Amino acid sequence: MIWDKIVGEFVDVIEWTDDSSDTMLWRFERHGNEIKYGAQLTVRESQVAVFVNEGRVADVFEPGMYTLETANLPIISTMESWHHGFQSPFKAEVYFVNVKRFTDLKWGTKHPVTLRDPEFGPVRLRAFGTYVTKIKDPVIFIREIAGTDGHFTTDEITDQLRNMIVSRFSSVMADSGIPVLDLAANYEQLGTFLTNKIMPEFDLYGLELSQMMVESISLPDIVEEALDKRTSMGVIGDLSRYTQYQTAEAIAKAAENPGGAAGAGVGIGAGIAMGQNMADQMAGAAAPPSPASQASAPPPLPADKTFHVDIGGKAAGPFNSDQLKAMVTEGTLRRDTLVWAQGMDDWQPAGQVSELATHLASVPPPLPGQG
């Protein structure tokens, strides 16, 4: 204690060289808080020196070098009312405030936050990210946060700031109007929106929220599934062409079933018919008729009704009139063969369907006792 007092009488340089990355405030230690009149004060860039006298802020010094004399201490000189030509030491606490930006500070929701989405209704999600802050008003920061702490670091305030961000996150997300499915594509926009909304909360602590970034948002499983389905639909593209492709694949598999030459013939015939149908559709889409030809052309013929046929216990088709005739000739289509077409309530024997009576006219009925 005696040595500190002796050194304090001779040391006349007040400065702080910060070698850490997380110190926000540091108090210059001097025995009895006595500062020698005429001492040299050095305030470096990214620093501010705050003089506190008897618990009140007396002076604030921006970056530069100062000689602590009456000319540079107008406020504290008046408060002290020094005698003897102001040559005696005066008592004051000196706080160096680090006003640089503190980056890569973490924030995140400890528990899922419930939001109301216009498409999915109430959903629960979690979010994580980083933010950048700095001390904007050293006096407010000392008064509201640091107090008399002689060494204040970011670890002492990040928990409070994180809790404040998370507590505002739910309401801010609701005000943003960004649908849940679009959040991943709007991280930058959401970060800017969060920064503007939460910035006033930091001002109350003398801090400035420079930037807030959203790095990850975890969606509920049901929303993830919906997003995957939408992505799949986008990859499929034209649904009608995809359906035609699936039908062709089904016919090919039906032809591979052990049904002999008849099954193969049915598969080949159906494939040719469907290929012709697709070619006609593409030709019609590529060369639409002119208005003049439409006016003079007769109306289109009624569409040929197609039927699905039970072949080996599996549904095949649909088949047009020519294909059905070929199947009757081959013996694949008989009176007791189950068929179905658009508009029918259920599968029925071909012999009970009026549209197929012409095709089956040449087929004799089953012998008595075998029908």
Residues 41 and 108 in one domain: no
Among residues 82, 98, 114, the one where a domain terminates is 98
| Residue 300 in domain | no
CATH of the domain at 258: 3.30.1490
Same structural domain for residues 137 and 182? yes
- Whether 82 has a pLDDT exceeding 60, the answer reads no
The count of other CB atoms within 10 Å of the CB of residue 115 is 19
What the block records as the tokens of 67 is 């000689």
Higher pLDDT, 306 or 219: 306
Which range (3-17, 90-104, 108-122) has the least confidence? Answer: 3-17
Q: Are residues 112 and 207 in the same domain?
A: yes
pLDDT of residue 96: 95
81 shares a domain with 141 = no
Q: pLDDT at residue 144 above 70?
A: yes
Q: Of 192, 220, 248, which residue sits at a domain end?
A: 220
3-state helix, strand, coil in the chain (%, to 5): 45, 25, 30
Note whether 25 and 152 are within 8 A (CB): yes
Q: Where residue 206 sits, what CATH number does that domain have?
A: 3.30.479.30
Residue type, 151: H
Residues 353-360: what's their mean pLDDT? 80
| pLDDT for res 3 | 45
- Judged against a pLDDT cut of 60, whether residue 114 lies above it is answered with yes
118 assigned to some structural domain: yes
Residues 207 and 149 in one domain: yes
* Amino acid letter for position 160: Q
| Least confident piece of the model among 131-145, 177-191, 219-233, 328-342 | 219-233
Q: Does some domain include residue 370? A: no
Q: Are residues 158 and 211 in the same domain?
A: yes
Residue 288 lies in a domain: no
Average pLDDT over the chain, rounded to an integer: 77
What pLDDT is stored for residue 167 in this prediction? 82
- For residues 148-156, give the mean pLDDT: 90
Amino acid at 165: I
**Average pLDDT of the segment spanning 123-145:** 91
* N-term to C-term CA, the chain: 120
Q: Are residues 19 and 40 in the same domain?
A: yes
Range of the domain at 110: 102-220
**Stretch 295-305: mean pLDDT, rounded?**
64
Identify the pLDDT of residue 308: 87
Which of the listed residues 74, 98, 122 is the one where a domain comes to its end? 98
The structural domain count of the chain equals 3
Mean pLDDT on 235-254: 68
In a domain, 88, yes or no: yes
Buried b (16+ CB within 10 A) or exposed e, 147-180: eeeeebbbeebbeebbebbbeebeebbeebebeb
Residue pLDDT, tens place only, 27-52? 998 766 677 778 899 999 999 999 88
